[in-house]
């Protein structure tokens, strides 16, 4: 039976990428002087799974690096060789090489064979210089063990008989990759046979009844041969016989043929834990739960992989359903609730069901921000080594969830900010010691949810921003600056295109194309960037983003004949002010006094030039909103009601409107602007 395995390639690609990410995470967090056994076992399992999958799906080039990596990790996890920082660096490079090969098969991208060969040489150098007794008191090996090691380096011919289980085909196992891997080990021949059937009409082609007989001349030990069949055969299904044995100096032997199954060899070597100089593998080492496996097997077993396009289609259809439900509710307002009681009850049930469905659908699109955070430990590790700095990365709030569309777009801005902190923020160890600091700097990546927004901070304990240097550079670049500018205004200058305070251009920074990219990308997502810095103590960049770009809960308000939507999560309270609580401040400006606080009053009718809006505050309604810690009072004519609204981009269909975060379609088909509290504060200040 010829089975096309290409349909399963994507599963292999996704799982291999997850294994590589897990390996990188552990390598960056592990302490080489005192590694955790659970971490070492997890590393071995990941390398073992990638190698086995690559062999099964016919990617023999990926098994070259993973085989040596797996062997070294096996020795490390059994404490036969000590782990070192240099080994961790090489292992990380090996992971990069495997990732590059994986991308080559998945995306057709170019694979740099020189990088792969260099990694193989480095792994081989570690393998050659590390013996099972390395780092331990020297011991005299037994004559039998010494002979076994010599045998492993000399060529022998083996007869391999493989009698697979009948369900081999149904498990989608291909023999070609196995034959290719065996052929790469030496001179290889194979023949297949099948037992005759007297009743051909009862023959089941889906059952495997073939028996493969193979001859292999190789210097590899039987344990390596058995590894090739690890994902395919049980011990009793594979038999390996040695057809010739070289006469070793100082060892008496006869010329009789040595025979025995791999299972027998494992049994005979059970006490020593070795097979021909190699440690035998437990069949259950890759089973779920082996060695206290910390993966999410239960979650994986109860989950499925769904394409992003399908999820986006589901979100769009959910948005249309919300709009349709709003239209039905709008139409039902004109009907007598007594005569049409059943209709109103059904519409209320539809609204509750739509809300529950909307929350369920939106949760599908939400992703933990750790999807991005997980890539920065490696970036900090490599860049700090390159610049000769000591930096510790701290991640806080990795489980904070954010809309998938925002998560994907956050990668570039955060990368620029982290690189800036490493290059410009954190000082060299010598400079930090001279300044009374620890030689190891700290970078903190923090995410949290505040109301309907997600706030991400990139902070460091470095030198901070230099106000005078920024002003001088800005003046040199022709930007309008003055000494009377506030610190907040000065810090915003670093986002100007082409702005950089670096003395020289390097491959890390200095071209002035980083921070303006951050501001542009964040603004495109409906977010904002704030900078806080203290000379000699460090800097903090805060990015505030909407929780989702699809649907939100909002309160509709009327101003004149226009309707606006105010996000529920930004509303503090609504009230009708008394005359004595209103105060004029200058020409055209007013404040409202609420519980000891004087809050700026913004008349939406004046801001958006709406005719017919209520002019006297005591006759209207004041809505207090929170804008990331700042309070603002919006003057509206009437509160209409709470709704779920579908966010539509104004910039895509029209243009950017100050003070808004987009628009939505109401139940009567009209378009209503969605107000942005923080942008309203900025608009009020500019006026």
For 91-94, the CB contacts below 8 A with 24+ separation are 91/23, 91/27, 91/43, 92/24, 92/27, 92/28, 92/378, 92/381, 93/119, 93/122, 94/65, 94/69, 94/119, 94/122, 94/123
- Read off the tokens for 236: 């009793």
Measure the CA–CA gap between 640 and 597, rounded to whole angstroms: 27
Measure the CA–CA gap between 427 and 178, rounded to whole angstroms: 53
Residue 640 φ then ψ, to 5°: -95, -45
415-440 average pLDDT score = 89
> What's the pLDDT score for residue 297?
42
Closest CA to 380 of 372, 396, 391, 395: 391
Query: What CATH class is the domain 5-129?
Result: mainly alpha
pLDDT class for 298, splitting at 50, 70, 90? very low
Over pLDDT 90: what percentage of the chain?
5
> What's the pLDDT score for residue 458?
92
Measure the CA–CA gap between 485 and 491, rounded to whole angstroms: 10
| Cα dihedral 142, 148, 152, 155 sign | positive
Measure the CA–CA gap between 556 and 553, rounded to whole angstroms: 10
> Is it the case that residue 255 has pLDDT exceeding 60?
no
> What's the pLDDT score for residue 177?
77
CA torsion angle 337 340 344 349 (round to 10):
150
Helix (H) or strand (E) holding 103: helix 85-107
Of 176 and 388, the structure prediction assigns the larger pLDDT to 388
Rounded to 5°, angle at Cα 418 from 436 and 488:
75
> What's the pLDDT score for residue 564?
92
How high is the mean pLDDT of the chain? 77
pLDDT class for 202, splitting at 50, 70, 90? low
> What's the pLDDT score for residue 283?
37
> Is it the case that residue 148 has pLDDT exceeding 50?
no
For 238-243, the CB contacts below 8 A with 24+ separation are 238/160, 238/161, 238/162, 238/262, 239/160, 239/161, 239/162, 240/158, 240/159, 240/160, 240/265, 241/158, 241/159, 241/160, 241/161, 242/156, 242/157, 242/158, 243/156, 243/157, 243/158, 243/159, 243/215
191-215 average pLDDT score = 75
Measure the CA–CA gap between 634 and 624, rounded to whole angstroms: 6
Per-residue pLDDT tens digits for 653-671: 777 788 887 888 887 778 8
How many other CB atoms sit within 10 Å of the CB of residue 323? 18
Q: What CATH number does the domain located at 551-686 have?
A: 2.40.50.180
> What's the pLDDT score for residue 338?
85
> Is it the case that residue 17 has pLDDT exceeding 60?
yes
> What's the pLDDT score for residue 166?
77
In the sheet with 551-559, reading across from the earlier edge strand, the strands are 638-646, 551-559, 562-567, 671-675, 660-665
Which segment of 144-153, 339-348, 418-427, 502-511 scores lowest on mean pLDDT?
A: 144-153
pLDDT class for 143, splitting at 50, 70, 90? very low
Say if residues 50 and 16 touch (Cβ distance below 8 Å): yes
How many other CB atoms sit within 10 Å of the CB of residue 206? 9
Instruction: List, in sequence order, the alpha helices (H) in 30-59.
Output: 37-56
pLDDT class for 460, splitting at 50, 70, 90? very high
Give the CATH number of domain 369-546; options: 3.40.50.300, 1.10.510.10, 3.40.250.10, 3.30.565.10.
3.30.565.10
Residue holding tokens 């045998």?
Answer: 151
Residue 240 φ then ψ, to 5°: -120, 120
> Is it the case that residue 510 has pLDDT exceeding 50?
no
Over pLDDT 70: what percentage of the chain?
79
Which segment of 219-223, 341-345, 375-379, 433-437 scores lowest on mean pLDDT?
A: 219-223
pTM: 0.57
pLDDT class for 199, splitting at 50, 70, 90? low
pLDDT class for 466, splitting at 50, 70, 90? confident
- Read off the tokens for 578: 């008394």
Measure the CA–CA gap between 22 and 97, rounded to whole angstroms: 15
> What's the pLDDT score for residue 568?
85
- Read off the tokens for 58: 């016919």
Residue 592 φ then ψ, to 5°: -120, 135
Per-residue pLDDT tens digits for 92-125: 988 888 989 888 888 888 888 888 888 888 888 8
> What's the pLDDT score for residue 321?
85
pLDDT class for 459, splitting at 50, 70, 90? very high
Which segment of 70-84, 267-281, 377-391 scores lowest on mean pLDDT?
A: 267-281
Measure the CA–CA gap between 159 and 244, rounded to whole angstroms: 10
Measure the CA–CA gap between 505 and 135, rounded to whole angstroms: 45
> Is it the case that residue 334 has pLDDT exceeding 70?
yes
pLDDT class for 443, splitting at 50, 70, 90? very high
Say if residues 472 and 501 touch (Cβ distance below 8 Å): no
Per-residue pLDDT tens digits for 567-589: 887 888 888 888 888 888 766 67
Which segment of 61-65, 222-226, 343-347, 453-457 scores lowest on mean pLDDT?
A: 222-226
> What's the pLDDT score for residue 137?
35
């Amino acid at each position: 039976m010829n089975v096309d395995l290409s349909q399963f390639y994507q599963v292999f690609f996704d799982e291999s990428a997850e294994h590589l990410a897990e390996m990188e995470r552990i390598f960056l967090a592990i302490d080489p002087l005192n590694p955790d056994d659970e971490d070492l076992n997890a590393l071995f399992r990941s390398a073992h799974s990638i190698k086995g999958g690559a062999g099964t799906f016919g990617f023999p080039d990926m098994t070259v690096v993973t085989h040596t990596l797996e062997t070294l990790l096996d020795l490390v996890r059994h404490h036969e060789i000590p782990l070192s920082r240099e080994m961790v660096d090489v292992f990380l490079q090996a992971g990069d090489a495997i990732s590059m090969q994986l991308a080559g098969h998945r995306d057709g991208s170019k694979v740099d064979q020189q990088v792969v060969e260099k990694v193989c040489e480095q792994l081989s150098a570690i393998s050659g210089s590390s013996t099972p007794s390395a780092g331990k008191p020297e011991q005299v090996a037994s004559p039998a063990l010494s002979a076994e090691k010599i045998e492993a380096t000399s060529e022998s011919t083996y007869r391999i008989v493989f009698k697979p289980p009948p369900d081999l085909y149904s498990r989608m196992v291909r023999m070609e990759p196995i034959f290719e891997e065996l052929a790469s080990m030496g001179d290889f021949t194979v023949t297949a046979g099948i037992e005759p059937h007297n009743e051909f009409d009862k023959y089941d082609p889906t059952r495997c009844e073939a028996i493969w007989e193979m001859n292999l001349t190789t210097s590899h030990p039987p344990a390596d041969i058995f590894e090739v069949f690890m994902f395919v055969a049980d011990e009793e299904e594979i038999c390996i016989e040695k057809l010739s044995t070289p006469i070793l100096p100082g060892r008496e032997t006869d010329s009789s043929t040595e025979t025995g199954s791999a299972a027998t060899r494992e049994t005979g070597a059970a006490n020593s834990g070795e097979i021909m100089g190699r440690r035998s593998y437990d069949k259950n080492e890759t089973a779920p739960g082996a060695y206290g496996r910390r993966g999410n097997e239960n979650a994986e077993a109860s989950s499925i992989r769904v394409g992003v396009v399908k999820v986006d289609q589901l979100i769009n259809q959910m948005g249309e359903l919300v709009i349709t439900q709003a239209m039905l509710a709008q139409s039902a307002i004109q009907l007598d609730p007594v005569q049409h009681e059943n209709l109103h009850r059904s519409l209320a049930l539809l609204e509750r069901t739509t809300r529950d469905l909307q929350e369920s659908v939106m949760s599908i699109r939400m992703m933990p921000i750790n999807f991005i955070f997980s890539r920065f430990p490696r970036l900090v590790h490599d860049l700090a080594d390159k610049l000769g700095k000591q930096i510790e990365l701290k991640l806080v709030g990795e489980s904070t969830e954010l809309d998938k569309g925002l998560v994907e777009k956050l990668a570039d801005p955060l990368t620029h900010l982290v690189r800036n902190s490493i290059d410009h923020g954190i000082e060299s160890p010598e400079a930090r010691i001279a300044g009374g600091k620890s030689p190891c700097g700290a970078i903190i990546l923090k995410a949290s949810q505040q109301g309907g927004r997600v706030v991400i901070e990139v902070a460091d304990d470095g030198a901070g921003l230099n106000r005078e240097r920024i002003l001088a550079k800005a003046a040199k670049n022709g930007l309008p600056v003055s000494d009377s500018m506030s610190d907040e205004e000065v810090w915003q200058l670093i986002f100007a295109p082409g702005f950089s305070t670096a003395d020289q251009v390097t491959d890390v920074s200095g071209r002035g194309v980083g921070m303006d990219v951050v501001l542009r990308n964040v603004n495109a997502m409906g977010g904002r960037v704030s900078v806080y810095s203290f000379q000699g103590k460090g800097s903090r960049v805060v990015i505030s983003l909407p929780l989702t770009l699809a649907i939100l809960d909002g309160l509709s308000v009327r101003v004149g004949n226009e309707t606006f939507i105010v996000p529920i999560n930004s509303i503090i309270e609504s009230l009708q002010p008394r005359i004595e609580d209103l105060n004029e401040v200058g020409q055209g400006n007013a404040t409202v006094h609420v519980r000891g606080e004087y809050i700026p009053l913004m008349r939406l009718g004046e801001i958006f030039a709406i005719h017919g809006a209520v002019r006297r505050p005591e006759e209207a309604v004041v809505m207090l909103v929170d804008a990331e810690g700042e309070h603002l009072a919006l003057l509206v004519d009437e509160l209409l009601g709470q709704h779920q609204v579908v966010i539509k981009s104004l910039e895509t269909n029209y243009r950017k409107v100050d003070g808004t975060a987009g628009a939505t379609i109401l139940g009567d088909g009209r378009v209503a602007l969605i107000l942005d509290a923080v942008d309203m504060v900025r608009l009020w200040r500019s006026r």
